[in-house]
Amino acid sequence: MQDGHRITRPTIKGWGRAEIVLAGWCTLALLTLIPATVLLRGSTPIFTVVWLSVALFVLARTRDASHLGFQRISGKNYLFATAVNLALVALAMAIAESRTHTYRYLLTEALSNPRPDTTFAWLARFPGVAGLLGMFLYASFVTIFAEELFFRGLLLHSLQNSLGRWPAILMQAALFTIPNGIVVLFLPVIQGATYGLVYTFLAIGVAGGWSAARTQSIWPSLTTAALINLILTIIVI
């Protein structure tokens, strides 16, 4: 557009602090996967590579970390959404676990594999508190972070623009359940159905999707998923 002798051009969003931090986080997470897989003698986390790579690609194109749910929120919103999210997930999993022992089956299956999933491989390679701490930090900063960034961040944000809040929450939860369906194949029928419908779809997908949609941020769902993973592991082992 010409204004006198000046021509104004559309403004392209630059790289802010959030975008730089997110790009660095994703890059470090990807680089961590190689030595972690070798050190822990675990299986290659293909899905984690995909989630992080897609997130980095979208970030490079949009230069907008908020599009992936990576943004600051008020302490009040964070605490409320996290508390509700954590309570819902804990209730659902407490009821399901007391009746089906699904997480116990999952953990037993994971640790019995000679090349376990790298999230749980920490427990096999490092006994006691060291293994729990390694699992918690690795999951929080790499594997669970990648899932939350992709599903409760990028995917939910994109679906909300076209579908609205609740259809988007349900859709991303359903899509989140699909890759986790691989785990279902290695569990008994009851435990597999419980893991897919209760743990993955309802607890992490829908409840986590609600907190992410309410705050437009992945922080409440990321906190909840990481804590629940740690708490259930401590209870089971």
Summarised one tens digit per residue, pLDDT across range 2-33 is 444 444 443 456 789 999 999 999 999 999 99
The DSSP code for 7 is E
CA 88 to centroid of chain Cα atoms: 17
CB 228 within 8 A of CB 93: yes
Low-confidence ranges of the chain (pLDDT < 50): 1-11
CA 57/CA 76 separation, integer angstroms? 32
Q: At what angle do helices 156-163 and 208-215 cross, to 10 degrees?
A: 70
**What pLDDT score does 1 carry?**
42
DSSP string for residues in 68-106 = GT-----HHHHHHHHHHHHHHHHHHHHHHHHHH-HHHHH
Residue 13's φ and ψ, nearest 5 degrees, are -60, 130
Rounded Cα distance between 2 and 127, Å, is: 68
Pair 53, 30: CB distance under 8 Å: yes
Would you state the pLDDT for residue 228?
A: 96
232: which 2 tokens? 């259930």
